[in-house]
């Protein structure tokens, strides 16, 4: 989880999760499998020990080791392959709700910039 910055939501405020600009950084080269994807994150709030935020990835393919998380896709499209433990791949797009478990190894193939709200 990232540390909340000065742009975190204050109680009684709101934000347009689809329009919020995110500062992107390239993914580490050891995670990138195809293309030159970048990601941007904006932590919105911490509720107890749980962080809520917005995450986005541009097109490309990258591997990841997951944290405990539930997310809702706001826009875009991706295929998530579950490497370890081996599970069937899923396709996600706007409206998809997904549960990930800490330590799962995944491969994300984003074909249309993917933006999600995460709870981790």
Q: What is the pTM of this model?
A: 0.91
DSSP state at residue 16: -
Q: What is the pLDDT of residue 52?
A: 97
pLDDT above 90 as % of the chain = 88
Residue-wise pLDDT for 52-105, tens only, equals 999 999 999 999 999 999 999 999 999 999 999 999 999 999 999 999 999 999
Residues 6 or more apart whose CB falls under 8 angstroms from that of 57 comprise 37, 38, 39, 78, 108, 110, 113, 114
Q: Which of 70, 116, 81 is closest to 95 using CA atoms?
A: 116
In whole numbers, what is the pLDDT of the chain averaged over residues? 94
Confidence grade of residue 4 (pLDDT, cut at 50, 70, 90): low
């Amino acid at each position: 989880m990232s540390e909340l910055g000065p742009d975190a939501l204050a109680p009684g405020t709101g934000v347009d999760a689809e329009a919020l600009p995110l500062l992107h950084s390239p993914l580490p080269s050891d995670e990138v499998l195809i293309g030159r994807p970048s990601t941007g994150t904006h932590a919105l709030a911490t509720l107890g020990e749980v962080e809520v935020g917005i995450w986005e990835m541009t097109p490309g393919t990258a591997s990841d080791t997951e944290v405990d998380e539930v997310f809702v896709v706001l826009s875009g499209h991706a295929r998530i392959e579950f490497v370890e433990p081996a599970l069937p791949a899923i396709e996600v797009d706007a409206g998809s709700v997904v549960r990930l478990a800490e330590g799962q190894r995944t491969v994300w193939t984003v074909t249309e910039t993917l933006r999600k709200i995460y709870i981790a």
